[in-house]
């Protein structure tokens, strides 16, 4: 039996789920957008004290939108670059509640 190909979104969700609870006292919706504006793919996530999972057709606007270039995702996933380095490099664009981003970057750095 051939298993279906894993998408970048599946890989991100699996990696975040493996990290356990996020350091937030409530759940937040984070949209991750990968790729150039004319061909971007988006995955909606819910992160919080119960961990991370994909959001199913979430209503309303996300608390945070993070746009990443494909090479930044690969560098993060492989551990070649830290999340703070990627953010400073300009390969990430962020819109929304910056305090959520600060908490999540600390969480990612502490467990990577």
Torsion (CA) 85, 89, 92, 94 in degrees, nearest 10: 90
The 3-state DSSP class for residue 83 equals: helix
Is CATH 2.60.120.260 the right assignment for the domain spanning 8-111? Answer: no
pTM of the predicted model as reported, rounded to 2 decimal places: 0.73
Per-residue pLDDT of the chain (112 residues; tens, 9 = 90+): 555 556 777 777 788 888 888 888 999 998 888 877 777 888 888 889 988 888 876 678 899 998 887 777 677 767 788 777 877 887 788 899 888 888 887 776 665 4
Domain spans, the chain? 8-111
Would you state the pLDDT for residue 90? 79
């Amino acid at each position: 039996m051939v298993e279906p190909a894993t998408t970048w979104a599946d890989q991100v969700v699996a990696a975040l789920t493996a990290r356990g609870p996020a350091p937030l006292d409530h759940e937040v919706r984070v949209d991750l957008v990968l790729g150039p504006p004319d061909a971007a793919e988006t995955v909606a996530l819910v992160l919080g004290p119960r961990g991370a999972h994909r959001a199913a057709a979430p209503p309303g606007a996300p608390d945070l939108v993070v746009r990443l270039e494909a090479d930044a995702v690969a560098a993060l996933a492989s551990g070649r670059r830290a999340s703070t380095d990627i953010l400073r490099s300009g390969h990430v664009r962020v819109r929304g509640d910056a305090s959520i981003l600060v908490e999540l970057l600390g969480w990612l750095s502490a467990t990577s």
